[in-house]
A = this chain, B = another copy of it.
Amino acid sequence: MDRKGILIVVSGYSGVGKGTLMKALTARYDNYALSISATTRKPREGELDGREYFFKTKEEFEELIAKDRLVEYANYCGNYYGTPRDYVEEQLGQGRDVILEIEQQGALKVREKMPDVLLLFVMPPDAQTLVQRLRGRETESEEVIRERLAQAVEESKYVDRYDYMIVNEDLDRAVEELHRLIGSQHNKISRNLDFTKQIQQELMALV
């Protein structure tokens, strides 16, 4: 069976709990590597350079773009966000499933460049739950919450471009569902053509 790494993009409405879900998944299973994005946005309290993000100046970021060292990048709410290519390729090569937690613009760009990427969207069980989680964060003003919801409405128009969805109602269950879903992608025929070809050749040698 295929054990080449799969590239997975995870998106979802702001406040849906993507970050928590990814942390829980990677803490529980060791076949995943969480890609670290580069960004020009300012660090939030508690965020460390090289852990949550690689924090870059605008000039540094634009140099990465110019040198084609990003899998994707996008400008979102006035800041650049992007995925450094080297880390992703290194982890895939080692057979790990690499997760990019990126917003929609970036996600759909990755599909253009890498058609066999797996696009996942994390959904809330309902919109009210999303609002409650945004309010619960307490780092966001009501104005920012309204902006996030308007952004969510915008993103909802392109959700059908994703492959699969995970409903994040119960964290533990969502982690298991996500793990099962990604695991089953290793069974795709298109990811196992070396194996099916080998069986074919063995069969031909027998008749």
Q: Which residues of A contact B (CB under 8 A)?
A: 1, 13, 121, 123-124, 126-128, 130-131, 146, 149-150, 152-153, 156-157, 159-160, 162-167, 177, 180-181, 183-184, 187-190, 192-193, 195-196, 199-200, 202-207
Contact = CB atoms under 8 A, between A and B. Distances in A.
Copies in the complex: 2
Contacts of A188: 163-165
A13, A146, A177, most chain B CB atoms within 10 A: A177
A160, A166, A199, most chain B CB atoms within 10 A: A199
A131 B199 CA distance: 12
A195 B124 CA distance: 11
Nearest to A195: B123
Contacts of A163: 188-189
For the complex, would chain A's binding face be called helix, strand, loop or mixed by DSSP majority? helix
Contact of A153 (B121, B131, B152, B207): B207
Contacts of A124: 199
A127 B164 contact: no
Q: Sorted from nearest, which 3 A-B pairs have the closest CB atoms?
A: A127-B202, A156-B200, A181-B184
B187 A177 contact: yes
Contacts of A128: 202
A180 to B, nearest CB: 5
A125 B85 CA distance: 35
Contacts of A156: 196, 199-200, 203
